[in-house]
Amino acid sequence: MGVSVYVSTLTSTAIAADRYLVIVHPFRTRMSHSICGLIIAGVWLISVLISLPLGIYTKIGIDPRNNEPSCMESWPHPLSRPIYTVITFILQFVAPCLIISICYYRVSCVLRSRGSTKIGSGRKSREKEELEIKRNRRTNQMLIAMVIIFVVCWIPLNVLWIVVDIIGEKAEGSVYFHHTFILCHMIAMSSAVYNPFIYAWLNNNFRQEFKAIFQCNNKFCSKNSSLLTTRQQTQSKFISRYTYNNNDNKKTKMIIWILIMKKI
């Protein structure tokens, strides 16, 4: 569980850093696939190393509250757990929060400055300028929303663990601790769920592509309908032309009309 938490947080941090480099420094060399693979591997390696102490010092013991086997932390020194909690709080919450906030703040500043820059009359119309300003505003709103969601989702769980380390076993022995932990953990894990909704809400391209996925099934029907309409128009023109040139030959015209209807 600890590994997945750190992977989620560090991945969000890496995405923020990548957006910073692409938007703030657009003329730098873009990230290659090999570098991207190394970053992903580094995220997993760091996550495993940070979570390793939990795997080492977690043992199977008897829970005194219900006399059932459960995983319990057994640290070699009383200060080991508080120190580990502080370190994980910095690496999992404080540092990523600062990096994400700084990156998105710089991205927002760059987008705002580009939106206010006048290229000159004749090269950029007022309508295009307004569309660019609206697009930059939506992007800024999306970045701010992502930072707020990250902080709001992760701070309850981190505060809970700090309180547990300060109070000690009394907190874990509380009747409400189990339910509080489940609630805080669900809120923290839900942080990864909100990003698609934010993109769909504030990104026009995302909404258009999302609609296109569900419209793909109707393309074949639309294509057949278009072909049928074109064929009917061609046949109608042929019949009209034939009628215009051969008004007296009604019998032959009727035979041709019957043959055409059979082909349809």
Domain boundary among the residues 149, 170, 202 is at 202
User: Residue 252 is part of which domain span?
Assistant: 224-263
Judge contact between 145 and 198, C-beta under 8 A: yes
Summarize pLDDT for 201-254 with one digit per residue, the tens.
766 776 777 778 777 655 555 555 454 455 455 444 444 444 444 444 544 544
One domain, residues 157 and 251: no
One domain, residues 152 and 233: no
On whether residue 207 sits in a domain, the answer given is no
In order, the DSSP letters of 2-57 are HHHHHHHHHHHHHHHHHHHHHHHSTTSPPPPHHHHHHHHHHHHHHHHHHHHHHHHH
CA distance 155 to 93: 8
Question: CATH number of the domain that 139 lies in?
Answer: 1.20.1070.10
One domain, residues 185 and 243: no
> Amino acid letter at 21?
L
Lowest mean pLDDT among 146-150, 183-187, 232-236: 232-236
One domain, residues 238 and 189: no
Summarize pLDDT for 11-70 with one digit per residue, the tens.
888 888 888 888 888 787 777 888 889 999 999 999 999 889 888 888 887 766 667 777
Domain boundary among the residues 202, 233, 249 is at 202
One domain, residues 130 and 251: no
On whether residue 239 sits in a domain, the answer given is yes
On whether residue 219 sits in a domain, the answer given is no
One domain, residues 75 and 136: yes
On whether residue 88 sits in a domain, the answer given is yes
On whether residue 126 sits in a domain, the answer given is yes
One domain, residues 172 and 255: no
**How far apart, in Å, are the Cα atoms of 130 and each of 81, 109, 118, 178?**
55, 18, 12, 52
On whether residue 13 sits in a domain, the answer given is yes
One domain, residues 185 and 55: yes
One domain, residues 122 and 184: yes
| pTM score over 0.85 | no
One domain, residues 178 and 233: no
Once rounded to an integer, what is the mean pLDDT over residues 101-111?
A: 86
CA distance 23 to 219: 36
One domain, residues 82 and 170: yes
On whether residue 214 sits in a domain, the answer given is no
Q: How many domains does the chain have?
A: 2
One domain, residues 152 and 191: yes
On whether residue 213 sits in a domain, the answer given is no
